[in-house]
Amino acid sequence: MKNHICVKIFILTVITLCAYVAPSFLSHSEAKGVKTSYKRYSIFKYKNENVLCEPYTVNKDDWLYKILRKKGEISEKDFPHFIIIFKEINPQISNIDAIEPGINILIPLKKVEKGTYDQSTPGIVDIPVIEFTTLPEDLDLRPFKKGHKIKKGENVSSLIDKDFLKKGGAISEEGLKAFQLANPNIKNINIVYEGTDIYLPDPSIKSQPWFKSLLSGKTIQNETKKKEQQVEEYKIEAYKLTQLKKYSSLIGGTLLSHGKIYFPGENDTSQVLDLSASPIIETHDGSKILIISGDNVNDELLEYVKTYWKDLKTQLISDAIDKLKNHSNTAPKKNITFKYKKIVKILLSQTDYDYIPNAKIPFSLNNITLEASFGRIIRENTTDLLINFGNVYGSALEVLEKKEFEIISITPKLTTLELAKKLFTHLGYTTWENPSFSNDETIESIHGLYAVKKHEKLFIPIKPLSTTAIDYLKKEDIKIISTKNMLPAQ
């Protein structure tokens, strides 16, 4: 067992180091201000799942949930599963609640389909990562900086031009940004060593339009926080979500409108897709439709999402609702469904069956727990019979049909006779339409449905019965189901 764990750790270490030493390279920018770089990841097979993983060095104050939230494309409900995967691909971690700074680990980012990425070597893939900048592509900083070698006792604050200093002598935000542009290799301006070559920014850089735009944008972290604050105002109203759920069912999809999905970016940043403001419809073939209103998704976030979901489609919420309305206008009106429900309720109320008109049936679709409404007939010694009045479609209906239920769907334009025949046939009755009986050398037809099951005999009339017909049915001990309060289903 020990040897197995050691071998596993060695393999994972090799993958991690390979990903770390792999050089980053840039592709041609697709749009001004957009840079596509490539990061090296690994593919780990867990049971029947392929999981995309990123090598990561633990920082101070890091903890596992914080790292997964920041790096992975993981919804809240999937966190427990990804914790299990994390333990499996990092067997060297004995206590996940006490990971130490400086150690190298693999972070499970998301599940991927087999063949999604071309593997440069077995288990290793290079994935494009989008980085946005307001800097001009052909920016030349040489006119705005001059070289200097750090001498003993010098620091950045004493060397930088006074135009970049605050009244107390500390470096201003403009000065810090200008120095970082001129010296991208220096991460901490308070730590520069004697003999280090640096560039000092010239105050003229402050007048450049692109520099002003950098300052107005502040830091990526501040922008992210601002976007998260703004998402509240873009949350989709409840009535629109109801419409979207109906539209999702109409096209055989599932609406995801709760939680957040995180997309890792450059420099340990991430983009967040808040499903309450930007829902996703997952279709039966695995593709995704991002619902947008025009304000809830910015171009930067859209580019990130498209990088990870290559088959992503977008659809305006207004377009989805309009399509639902157009379908509703051509579909049977709601009052028809109401009539069907009333007929079924009246018929079953006069039998020995227990009937629940609006039973909520839970089911799981794409790991999402949902529920659907059916008429439910309780049957002894067998599975219950569910009646779908047309409000459950597509994949949801397919999943429910695989459960231990028998389902009948009430289709549009059924007559009362056809509805009654369908219902009682599925309840195990033998049925006859418009049966006849002999009356003093004449044969009289009775308009309705005759249903027989063992010793139980029922008749559902669809027209008023004659006195002779009533007498005959009573003589034969056939129970007449009253249809007095039924509405014609035309």
Q: What is the mean pLDDT of residues 64-76?
A: 69
- Count the domains in the chain: 4
Question: Among the listed ranges 42-46, 324-328, 336-340, 396-400, which one has the minimum average pLDDT value?
Answer: 324-328
* 471 and 344 fall within a common domain: yes
363, 370 contact by CB (below 8 A)? yes
Q: What angle do CA 303, 306, 310 make, to 5 degrees?
A: 155
Residue 45 falls inside a structural domain: yes
173-182 and 209-217 are packed helices; what angle lies between their axes, rounded to 10 degrees?
110
Higher pLDDT, 146 or 34: 146
Residue 94 falls inside a structural domain: yes
* 65 and 157 fall within a common domain: no
* 364 and 317 fall within a common domain: no
pLDDT score of 198: 92
pLDDT score of 23: 42
* 183 and 119 fall within a common domain: no
d(CA 201, CA 142): 9
Question: Among the listed ranges 132-136, 189-193, 260-264, 407-411, which one has the minimum average pLDDT value?
Answer: 132-136
Contacts of 192 (CB under 8 A, 6+ apart): 150, 155, 156, 186, 198
Higher pLDDT, 348 or 69: 348
Of the candidates 112, 101, 133, 162, the one whose C-alpha atom is nearest the C-alpha of residue 32 is 133
Q: Is the pLDDT of residue 273 over 80?
A: no
> Partners of 105 in the beta sheet?
56
pLDDT score of 179: 92
- With bands split at pLDDT 50, 70 and 90, how would you rate the model's confidence at 45? confident
**Which structural domain, as residue segments, surrounds residue 171?**
142-217
Residue 487 falls inside a structural domain: no
- With bands split at pLDDT 50, 70 and 90, how would you rate the model's confidence at 335? low
pLDDT score of 137: 58
Q: Is the pLDDT of residue 291 over 80?
A: yes
Q: Is the pLDDT of residue 131 over 70?
A: no
Q: Is the pLDDT of residue 35 over 90?
A: no
Q: What is the mean pLDDT of residues 310-327?
A: 79
Average pLDDT, the chain: 75
Residue 80 falls inside a structural domain: yes
* 203 and 254 fall within a common domain: no
Higher pLDDT, 98 or 349: 349
pLDDT digits (tens, 9 = 90+) for 356-412: 988 888 877 656 667 788 889 988 888 888 888 877 766 677 777 777 778 888 877
Residue that terminates a domain, selected from 84, 100, 132: 132
* 474 and 350 fall within a common domain: yes
* 457 and 363 fall within a common domain: yes
> Partners of 387 in the beta sheet?
375, 408
Ramachandran angles phi, psi of 294, nearest 5°: 105, -25
Residue 312 falls inside a structural domain: yes
pLDDT digits (tens, 9 = 90+) for 182-212: 898 887 888 888 888 999 999 888 888 777 7
pLDDT digits (tens, 9 = 90+) for 108-120: 888 877 766 665 5
pLDDT digits (tens, 9 = 90+) for 86-110: 888 888 888 877 788 888 888 888 8
* 213 and 257 fall within a common domain: no
> Tokens 């998704």 appear where?
297
Ramachandran angles phi, psi of 443, nearest 5°: -110, 125
Residue that terminates a domain, selected from 283, 299, 327: 327
Element (H, E) at 17: helix 2-21
pLDDT score of 25: 39
Q: What is the mean pLDDT of residues 324-353?
A: 75
pLDDT score of 199: 92
Higher pLDDT, 440 or 246: 246
Residue 489 falls inside a structural domain: no
Of the candidates 139, 138, 161, 164, the one whose C-alpha atom is nearest the C-alpha of residue 148 is 161
Residue 490 falls inside a structural domain: no
Higher pLDDT, 114 or 314: 314
pLDDT score of 12: 52
Rounded to two decimals, what is the model's pTM?
0.36
- With bands split at pLDDT 50, 70 and 90, how would you rate the model's confidence at 14? very low
d(CA 334, CA 339): 9
Question: Among the listed ranges 8-12, 67-71, 341-345, which one has the minimum average pLDDT value?
Answer: 8-12
* 289 and 424 fall within a common domain: no
* 200 and 237 fall within a common domain: no
Looking at the chain, the whole-number percentage of residues with pLDDT higher than 90 is 3
d(CA 15, CA 55): 8
Q: What is the mean pLDDT of residues 419-429?
A: 89
- With bands split at pLDDT 50, 70 and 90, how would you rate the model's confidence at 213? low
DSSP code per residue over 53-108: EEEEEPPTT--HHHHHHHH----GGGHHHHHHHHHHH-TT-S-GGGPPTT-EEEEE
* 242 and 109 fall within a common domain: no
Higher pLDDT, 441 or 166: 166
Q: What is the mean pLDDT of residues 259-273?
A: 65
* 210 and 233 fall within a common domain: no
Residue that terminates a domain, selected from 217, 237, 258: 217
> Tokens 């990526």 appear where?
220
Q: What is the mean pLDDT of residues 314-341?
A: 72
> Partners of 134 in the beta sheet?
none
Q: Is the pLDDT of residue 222 over 70?
A: no
CATH (domain of 164): 3.10.350
Q: Is the pLDDT of residue 231 over 60?
A: no
How many Cβ atoms sit within 10 Å of the Cβ of residue 71? Answer: 20
Residue 486 falls inside a structural domain: no
Question: Among the listed ranges 77-81, 86-90, 241-245, 465-469, which one has the minimum average pLDDT value?
Answer: 77-81
Pairing of the two strands 49-57 and 104-112: antiparallel
- With bands split at pLDDT 50, 70 and 90, how would you rate the model's confidence at 224? very low
